Amino acid sequence: DEVYDFGALQKKWLPIWDELKPFSTSDPDDTRPRKYVLDMFPYPSGDLHMGHAEVYALGDVVARYWRQQGYNVMHPIGWDSFGLPAENAAIKRGVDPRGWTYDNIEQQKRSMRLYAASFDWERELHTSDPEYYKWNQWLFLELYKKGLAYRKESWVNWDPVDQTVLANEQVLADGTSERSGAVVVKKRLTQWYFKITDYADRLLDDLDQLEGHWPSKVLQMQRNWIGRSIGADVEFEIEGREERVPVFTTRPDTLWGATFMVVAPDAALAAELVEGTSPEVQQRFADYLTAVGQSTEIERQATDRAKTGVFLERYAINPVNGERLPIWAADYVLADYGHGAVMAVPAHDQRDLDFARTFDLPVRVVLDVPNTNEDGESNDPSQNDPTQTGIALAGSGTLINSGPLDGLSKADAVPRAIEILEADGRGRAAKNYRLRDWLISRQRYWGTPIPIIHGEDGTEHAVPLEQLPVLLPDAAGLDLKPKGTSPLGGAADWVNVPNPVDGTPAKRDADTMDTFVDSSWYFLRFLNPNDDTKAFDVDEAKRWAPVDQYVGGVEHAILHLLYARFITKVLHDLGYLDFEEPFKALLNQGMVILDGAKMSKSKGNIVFFTEEVDKHGVDAVRLTMAFAGPPEDDIDWAEVSPVGSAKFLARAWRIANDVTSAPGVDPAGGDQALRRVTHRFLADAPGLTEAFKFNVVVARLMELVNATRKAIDSGVGAADPAVREAAETTALALNLFAPYLAEEMWEKLGFQPSVALAPWRTAEPALLVEDSVTAVVQVNGKVRDRLEVSPQISEAELEALALASDAVTKAIGDGEIIKVIVRAPKIVNIAIRG
Ligand code: ANZ
């Protein structure tokens, strides 16, 4: 008997697949319907890790599944190979980031091929190849020409360790850098931006189309990130100042309750207002501004933080009632949201109330908010006084103390207030977004050079298309250490170029692009990765895109997905794409953890990919990933059993070895009980797979293998065609989870490779009509017959059937029946004397 030797199978099948190319999608005459299954491509930080092992196992289940269902499946892979880690590693070791990156790619690729995900390797790409980043530059210029790429000076998030700017999305909730862990500070710099805010409404509204196809958590995170608020802009006159000051409010209904105004200390407006006030105020303000500079945006927004501020000794006039409102500068108002100033309504806004209580400012209730206890009865009215309770009345109610709005509900008062403001030219309906433009320039080496040339006179010139790519200069001789300006600026030969207009001395833009630009459109490049005449092929995109199923980590819930959605919409508007959402469906896998903790180098609790694969084999590791639980859940590697997986695979392997019937034999006459198990599985597995219940499919497959083993060992025998049918079904199913063994079983069962191209089989309806169970009939403890009966059979019916059996009557002979014990539907025990 042969043994299950995963190492031998891996050695045997890899070269055969290389030869057969079963996963190639390059045949233009292929008429099968298409599916595009995409796994998020890896960053080559070293060898593959267990997180990769999970995502590529699960993504491959989907790709292989659709292939079995008769689809032509595009399933490409490449490397997201620009980025800071390469550069930091290079600085640390004094090597070239290019060498470090491509060495890692080589290693990952070897592991990836061994891991046997069904990728079309002819489409492999690396974003750090000039053949790829040339088209990043093309994309940049497309946006530039449309006014969607622009440069401005602004406050940016600055990572003081990596010495580079960060997108808002790269600053963690605690105010530290996602990259280096350093506390992020603000710095004023001129940077390149992509105008994603122009697309805010579409990015938000189109999320509705993805409902049910993307995890709802991700949809919610995207919605929050875009953060659309609907309200009004209200213009306030300022005493002693020409221009009015607009504020954004979501509650124009509370305008009569405004008792002061607050401006962000770091907004230009604050500095303007403070000019011409007393020297004491100016000093106090200057000190405050310095203090504010130390805190992060997150801290400033924290609700539990003590309120601080400075009275500017200036006054605003409420446009609806002419009241004088003192103007304060306070850091809970942010400079770059709305207009950097608010009308403060302490009775109905908690932050304003906290501030008013700190500085003893007036509070005026303008909404009668019913205050009811749990039984719905009215409570003590003092409970409704924010000055006493310290709790702002945030709910709905009836307007009071509000002139023309009195008696209206909040819902009616909001539009009415806007009408009143509009009639007077003092305001209008307005929307605001949390979303900011996408800061794409980085002062680092290992990225795509920005294809712009700056003239001495400050003019900007796009590098002509025929001069693309603007190649990265050689790293040799450049100082890559972070210093706040791009290392590319140090490459004199590279940076100094003639002005494309008049030949006068000019300089290349020395910044490189955020690597999220690279990954915002890579799914299109896979369609024609070797075309050096265009970024992607419009017809191929029509044929294959959008991606039918995207698979990857929830860590990309905001940034990457939002950027890819944005770029897709831009390319749609430019006429290149006929769709507006890049990823029709999204599956987020959980993390692989150990003993309940995230694996990390510093904790020393890393499970290594190569070690697991060496120990248990690729198939067992992949099966373990699929069997561990719902894909979204984290997998604790201490609680799963790759050893158990390997044992199961060995059991499946022995079945294929045991089968003695010839291929093609008609299973109709085979054992009905086993056939029912097989066909139930054939019927259920597709729906379970499409619902991502891979673990259930594996559990059901284990049942099938157990049933087959029992049939072989218990009289049905290895020659029964039902056994062959079950073994073939097992091989087809294992193709999703354990491709090496599946291929070997398939061959053993007498078929040509590849099992990955063999179609799934349809269940025979007759075998699904009603499940039967096997009832055992014993006479004096000895099994005399087995009966196929309905699981719902009654005791009396089963007893009657048992006593009518030929084998049983024969066994009883002349004996006298003393007792019949029936346990429906499984057992009948007959005791006789004689
Ligand atoms: C008056 C008011 C009364 C407000 C009330 C709220 C409740 P979202 O939903 O986040 O858009 N605001 C406006 N600009 C701000 C800034 N730059 N920094 C901090 N806060 C700012 O919040 C909009 C509300 O946040 C606005 O509506 C404004 O306060 C405040 F009972 O105006 B409101």
Q: Whose CA is nearest to atom 22 of ligand 1?
A: 250
- Asked if 207 contacts 216 with a C-beta cutoff of 8 angstroms, the reply is no
Q: Give the C-alpha separation, 622 to 53, whole Å.
A: 7
Q: Give the C-alpha separation, 30 to 496, whole Å.
A: 50
Q: What is the mean pLDDT of residues 372-384?
A: 60
> CB pairs under 8 A, 24+ apart, for 424-429?
424/319, 426/234, 426/235, 426/319, 426/320, 427/232, 427/233, 427/234, 427/235, 427/246, 427/252, 427/319, 428/232, 428/233, 429/230, 429/231, 429/232
Q: Give the C-alpha separation, 621 to 611, whole Å.
A: 11
Collect all residues with Cβ–Cβ distance below 8 Å to 766 and sequence separation of at least 6: none
| Averaged pLDDT of the chain | 94
> Could you tell me if the CB of 348 is within 6 A of ligand 1?
yes
pLDDT score at 372: 55
pLDDT score at 380: 66
Which of 703, 708, 702 is closest to 720 using CA atoms? 708
Q: Give the C-alpha separation, 745 to 758, whole Å.
A: 13
Q: How far is the CA of 248 from the centre of ligand 1 (A)?
A: 7
Residue 687 binned pLDDT confidence (cut-offs 50, 70, 90): very high
* pLDDT(208) > 70: yes
* pLDDT(506) > 90: yes
Residue 104 binned pLDDT confidence (cut-offs 50, 70, 90): very high
Tokens encoding 74: 């595009």
Q: Whose CA is nearest to atom 26 of ligand 1?
A: 249
- Asked if 180 contacts 162 with a C-beta cutoff of 8 angstroms, the reply is yes
pLDDT score at 89: 87
> Could you tell me if the CB of 257 is within 6 A of ligand 1?
no
> Could you tell me if the CB of 246 is within 6 A of ligand 1?
no
Q: Give the C-alpha separation, 782 to 175, whole Å.
A: 75
Q: Whose CA is nearest to atom 8 of ligand 1?
A: 229
* pLDDT(374) > 60: no
**C-alpha distances in angstroms, 201 versus 204, 205, 527, 626?**
5, 6, 29, 38
Q: How far is the CA of 342 from the centre of ligand 1 (A)?
A: 6
Residue 432, strand partner residues: 229
Q: Give the C-alpha separation, 506 to 709, whole Å.
A: 78
Helix (H, G, I), strand (E, B) or coil at 723: helix
Work out the number of other CB atoms within 10 angstroms of the CB of residue 693. Answer: 17
Which of 558, 559, 573, 564 is closest to 523 using CA atoms? 564
* pLDDT(773) > 70: yes
Buried b (16+ CB within 10 A) or exposed e, 33-70: eebbbbbbbbbbbeebbbbbbbbbbbbbbbbbbbbbbe
The per-type count for the chain, helices as H runs and strands as E runs, is 28, 32
* Number of the ligand 1 atom closest to the C-alpha atom of 345: 3
Q: CB burial class (10 A; 0-12, 13-18, 19+) of residue 687?
A: exposed
* pLDDT(771) > 70: no
pLDDT score at 1: 55
Residue 485, strand partner residues: none
Tokens encoding 209: 């189309």
> Could you tell me if the CB of 342 is within 6 A of ligand 1?
yes
* Number of the ligand 1 atom closest to the C-alpha atom of 394: 31
Rounded to 10 degrees, the C-alpha dihedral 112/113/117/123 comes to 90
Q: Give the C-alpha separation, 2 to 13, whole Å.
A: 17
Q: What is the mean pLDDT of residues 431-444?
A: 94
- Asked if 619 contacts 632 with a C-beta cutoff of 8 angstroms, the reply is no
Cα Rg, the chain, nearest whole Å = 35
Q: What is the pLDDT of residues 284-328, one digit of tens each?
A: 999 999 999 877 777 888 888 899 999 999 999 999 999 999 999
Residue 792 binned pLDDT confidence (cut-offs 50, 70, 90): confident
Residue 88 binned pLDDT confidence (cut-offs 50, 70, 90): confident
Q: Whose CA is nearest to atom 31 of ligand 1?
A: 348
pLDDT score at 174: 82
* pLDDT(221) > 80: yes
* Number of the ligand 1 atom closest to the C-alpha atom of 248: 13
Q: How far is the CA of 365 from the centre of ligand 1 (A)?
A: 17
> Could you tell me if the CB of 432 is within 6 A of ligand 1?
yes
Residue 324, strand partner residues: 317
Q: Is the ipTM of this complex over 0.95?
A: yes
Q: Give the C-alpha separation, 564 to 491, whole Å.
A: 32
Which of 339, 331, 325, 321 is closest to 248 using CA atoms? 339
Q: What is the pLDDT of residues 545-586, one digit of tens each?
A: 999 999 999 888 899 999 999 999 999 999 999 999 999 999
For residue 92, which amino acid is it?
K
Q: Give the C-alpha separation, 479 to 195, whole Å.
A: 32
Strands (E) across 104-252 are located at 125-126, 149-159, 164-166, 185-194, 228-238, 245-249
Q: Give the C-alpha separation, 26 to 10, whole Å.
A: 26
- β pairing state of 185-194 and 164-166: unpaired
- For residue 324, which phi and psi values (nearest 5 degrees)? -85, 125
Collect all residues with Cβ–Cβ distance below 8 Å to 340 and sequence separation of at least 6: 263, 264, 267, 268, 269, 270, 333, 334
Q: Whose structure tokens read 């199961």? A: 648
- Cis ω before 546 (30° cut-off from 0): yes
Collect all residues with Cβ–Cβ distance below 8 Å to 320 and sequence separation of at least 6: 255, 256, 403, 417, 420, 421, 426
Q: How far is the CA of 658 from the centre of ligand 1 (A)?
A: 73
Mean pLDDT is lowest, of 104-113, 204-213, 294-303, for 294-303
* pLDDT(155) > 60: yes
Q: What is the pLDDT of residues 796-825, one digit of tens each?
A: 889 988 998 999 999 999 999 999 999 999
> Could you tell me if the CB of 259 is within 6 A of ligand 1?
no
Q: What is the pLDDT of residues 43-68, one digit of tens each?
A: 999 899 999 999 999 999 999 999 99
- Asked if 536 contacts 527 with a C-beta cutoff of 8 angstroms, the reply is yes
Q: How far is the CA of 356 from the centre of ligand 1 (A)?
A: 15
Q: Whose CA is nearest to atom 12 of ligand 1?
A: 342
> Could you tell me if the CB of 747 is within 6 A of ligand 1?
no
- Return the percentage of the chain with pLDDT > 70, whole number: 98
**C-alpha distances in angstroms, 706 versus 701, 710, 711, 726?**
9, 6, 9, 10
**C-alpha distances in angstroms, 163 versus 297, 481, 484, 496?**
19, 9, 5, 24
Q: Give the C-alpha separation, 298 to 434, whole Å.
A: 13
Where helices occur in 297-372 by DSSP H, the ranges are 297-301, 350-359
Helix (H, G, I), strand (E, B) or coil at 148: coil
Q: DSSP letters along 752-771, please?
A: -S-GGGSPP-PPPGGGTSS-
By most ligand atoms within 8 Å of CB, the mutation choice from 250, 414, 432 for ligand 1 is 250
> Could you tell me if the CB of 730 is within 6 A of ligand 1?
no
Q: Whose CA is nearest to atom 1 of ligand 1?
A: 249
- Asked if 325 contacts 259 with a C-beta cutoff of 8 angstroms, the reply is yes
Q: Give the C-alpha separation, 733 to 763, whole Å.
A: 14
Collect all residues with Cβ–Cβ distance below 8 Å to 785 and sequence separation of at least 6: 776, 777, 802, 805, 807, 808
Q: What is the mean pLDDT of residues 415-419?
A: 97
**C-alpha distances in angstroms, 331 versus 262, 317, 350, 514, 691?**
9, 22, 15, 30, 48
For residue 463, which amino acid is it?
V
Mean pLDDT is lowest, of 146-160, 305-319, 355-369, 412-426, for 146-160
Q: How far is the CA of 211 from the centre of ligand 1 (A)?
A: 29
Tell me which range, 176-185, 300-309, 414-423, is most confidently predicted by mean pLDDT.
414-423
Q: DSSP letters along 154-180, please?
A: EEEEEETTTTEEE-GGGB-TTSBBTTT
Q: Whose structure tokens read 């890049």? A: 582
* pLDDT(377) > 60: no
Rounded to 10 degrees, the C-alpha dihedral 614/615/616/618 comes to -10
> Could you tell me if the CB of 77 is within 6 A of ligand 1?
no
- For residue 580, which phi and psi values (nearest 5 degrees)? -120, -5
Residue 185, strand partner residues: 158
Q: Give the C-alpha separation, 256 to 261, whole Å.
A: 13
pLDDT score at 179: 80
Residue 234, strand partner residues: 247, 427
- Return the percentage of the chain with pLDDT > 90, whole number: 83
- Asked if 84 contacts 130 with a C-beta cutoff of 8 angstroms, the reply is no
Q: Give the C-alpha separation, 182 to 168, whole Å.
A: 14
- Per 3-state DSSP, what percentage of the chain is helix, strand, and coil (rounded to 5)? 40, 20, 40
- Asked if 150 contacts 130 with a C-beta cutoff of 8 angstroms, the reply is no
> Could you tell me if the CB of 349 is within 6 A of ligand 1?
yes
pLDDT score at 252: 98
